[in-house]
């Protein structure tokens, strides 16, 4: 590929090979220079080339050019100066060789050498044919294929054959195309799914790679997570056992301290009374923590029973407001109900929704400003019941918002940490709502307040008077 430029590096002519390779027309290039170079290298590269040519010397090196369609072409280029009789640069001729295939092949070779030693299984297959183009050592050992075998195989030969047909998490044709569709459409850069392969839990990550040169291909990383599952199970069992063992003696301690603080055994001096009150408050906090852990463990394991029945949501919310009024009074906060006059029936577990409301109202009270109102709103929608709890306090810091529903997570600021809490309440709330076929979310602006809102199914007219659905809902 040959180009000719003037003293200002403006293109004056090019040969047909350059036009064919780069996809330009002659009129696109004459008088121009920047269109064929990538912006990140143009200024420094042209300065280096021009300085060399002004000394009457040739410049050679690798130059990455940009086609009209935006793809990269790697070239080895030699620039030859054209000088006048006075020894001044008047232009140059560049001769380029396309080395894209060599560049890609070298890069692929180095990359694959590194991937070959990984413990995770690595699979690469073409986006069009789904035929494998590369398996690392771990993948070949898992499949029993070698370098002469896997090019004749497709993704279906690996994942579909190795999946457990009785397991809904296993890969099938429908699941596969459902996963890759967002990748192909550019909606996400990576998808991750847990599935069973050869009767072992595995984490499968998939990306669609669109190289500058060559066909698009999928890269899939398969990681055995058996040890992670075993660790999580052991951890959950340990937490559950410890919590159960602590609950009985702690209940006795809390009860005894409650009697003492109430004056059942007489009066104490000021110092002793202060210490007893501190001990009683801390016993309450420990009881709350243990109860939260046990609720979380039961819900996550699918062992919490939900009695789904028609529930008068206005009455439930009014009861929750009344129940939490003394707690809100501690923070000099009031509660205002909206939409509580209508007869709105939800299909849910009254006790579990009451638990959700208690958590949201107590959180709103803790993080409101003195003298503020908390607005509790009930709306009857087409097929759902909408409930929101809105405060106008400090709000949730932006960095804490993505993880606010995760276990043992609290917004880590000094103001919020002073309010206390186990860091489990909102994760339990989310599980309780979702296990009743509901959804929950929030909006928050730091310094302006937070609104948590959830929706639950509306009770059907023909369910009135029927026996409640007593079911054991397993967490997904």
What is the domain class of 2-98 according to CATH?
Answer: alpha beta
d(CA 284, CA 250) in angstroms, rounded, equals 9
Q: Tell me the pLDDT band of 96, cut-offs 50, 70 and 90.
A: very high
Give 420 or 11, the one with higher predicted confidence: 11
Q: Tell me the pLDDT band of 94, cut-offs 50, 70 and 90.
A: very high
Boundaries of every domain in the chain: 2-98, 103-224, 229-300, 305-472
Q: Are 437 and 268 in contact (CB under 8 A)?
A: no
* CATH T-level assignment (fold) for domain 103-224: Beta-Lactamase (3.30.450)
pLDDT at 449 > cutoff 90: yes
pLDDT at 473 > cutoff 50: no
pLDDT at 349 > cutoff 70: yes
How confident is the model at residue 92, as a pLDDT? 92
How confident is the model at residue 29, as a pLDDT? 86
Sheet holding 121-126, edge to edge: 132-135, 121-126, 217-224, 200-209, 191-197
State the DSSP code for 131.
B
pLDDT at 259 > cutoff 80: yes
Point out the least confidently predicted range of 1-5, 146-150, 285-289. 285-289
For 99, residues 6+ apart whose C-beta sits below 8 A from its C-beta are: 62, 74, 75, 76
**pLDDT (average), residues 206-233:** 83
Q: Calculate the average pLDDT of the chain.
A: 81
pLDDT at 191 > cutoff 50: yes
Domains 2-98 and 103-224 share a fold: yes
Q: Tell me the pLDDT band of 455, cut-offs 50, 70 and 90.
A: very high
CB hemisphere CA count around 414 (13 angstroms)? 0
Q: Are 377 and 361 in contact (CB under 8 A)?
A: no
pLDDT at 468 > cutoff 60: no
Give 472 or 450, the one with higher predicted confidence: 450
Q: Are 207 and 219 in contact (CB under 8 A)?
A: yes
Q: Tell me the pLDDT band of 413, cut-offs 50, 70 and 90.
A: very low
pLDDT at 78 > cutoff 50: yes
What is the domain class of 229-300 according to CATH?
Answer: mainly alpha
For 364, the token pair is 């709103």
pTM of the predicted structure, to 2 decimals: 0.47
Just give the CATH number of 305-472. 3.30.565.10
């Amino acid at each position: 590929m040959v180009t000719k430029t003037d003293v200002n590096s403006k293109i004056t002519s090019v040969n047909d090979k350059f036009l064919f390779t780069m996809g330009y027309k002659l009129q696109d290039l004459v008088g121009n220079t920047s269109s064929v170079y990538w912006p990140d290298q143009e200024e420094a590269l042209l300065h280096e080339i021009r300085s060399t040519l002004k000394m009457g010397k040739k410049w050679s090196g690798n130059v990455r050019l940009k086609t009209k369609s935006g793809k990269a072409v790697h070239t080895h280029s030699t620039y030859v100066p054209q000088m006048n009789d006075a020894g001044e640069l008047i232009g140059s001729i560049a001769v380029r060789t396309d080395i894209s295939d060599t560049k890609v092949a070298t890069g692929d070779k180095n990359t694959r050498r590194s991937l070959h030693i990984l413990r995770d299984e690595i699979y690469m297959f073409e986006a069009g044919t789904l035929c494998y183009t590369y398996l690392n050592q771990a993948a070949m050992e898992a499949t029993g294929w070698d370098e002469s075998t896997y090019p004749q195989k497709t993704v279906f030969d690996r994942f579909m054959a190795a999946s457990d047909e009785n397991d809904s998490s296993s890969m099938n044709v429908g699941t596969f195309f459902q996963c890759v569709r967002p990748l192909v459409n550019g909606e996400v850069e990576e998808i991750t799914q847990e599935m069973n392969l050869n009767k072992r839990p595995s984490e499968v990550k998939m990306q669609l790679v669109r190289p500058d040169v060559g066909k698009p291909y999928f890269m899939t990383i398969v990681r055995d997570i058996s040890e992670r599952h075993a660790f999580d199970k052991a951890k959950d069992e340990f937490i559950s056992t410890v919590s159960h063992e602590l609950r009985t003696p702690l209940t006795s301690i809390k009860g005894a301290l409650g009697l003492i603080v109430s004056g059942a055994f007489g009066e104490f001096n000021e110092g002793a009374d202060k210490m007893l009150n501190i001990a009683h408050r801390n016993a309450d906090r420990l009881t709350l923590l243990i109860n939260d852990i046990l609720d979380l463990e039961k819900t996550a394991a699918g062992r919490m029973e939900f009695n789904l029945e028609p529930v008068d949501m206005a009455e439930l919310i009014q009861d929750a407001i009344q129940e939490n009024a003394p707690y809100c009074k501690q923070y000099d906060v009031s509660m205002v109900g909206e939409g509580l006059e209508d007869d709105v029936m939800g299909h849910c577990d009254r006790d579990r929704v009451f638990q959700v409301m208690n958590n949201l109202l107590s959180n709103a009270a803790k993080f409101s400003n003195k003298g503020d109102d908390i607005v509790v709103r009930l709306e009857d929608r087409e097929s759902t019941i909408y409930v929101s709890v809105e405060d106008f306090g400090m709000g949730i810091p932006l960095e804490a918002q993505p993880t606010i529903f995760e276990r043992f997570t609290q917004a880590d600021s000094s103001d919020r940490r002073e309010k206390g809490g186990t860091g489990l309440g909102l994760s339990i709330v989310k599980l309780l709502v979702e296990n009743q076929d509901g959804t929950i979310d929030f909006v928050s602006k730091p310094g302006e307040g937070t609104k948590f809102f959830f929706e639950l199914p509306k009770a059907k007219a023909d369910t009135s008077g029927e026996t409640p659905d007593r079911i054991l809902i397993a967490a997904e």
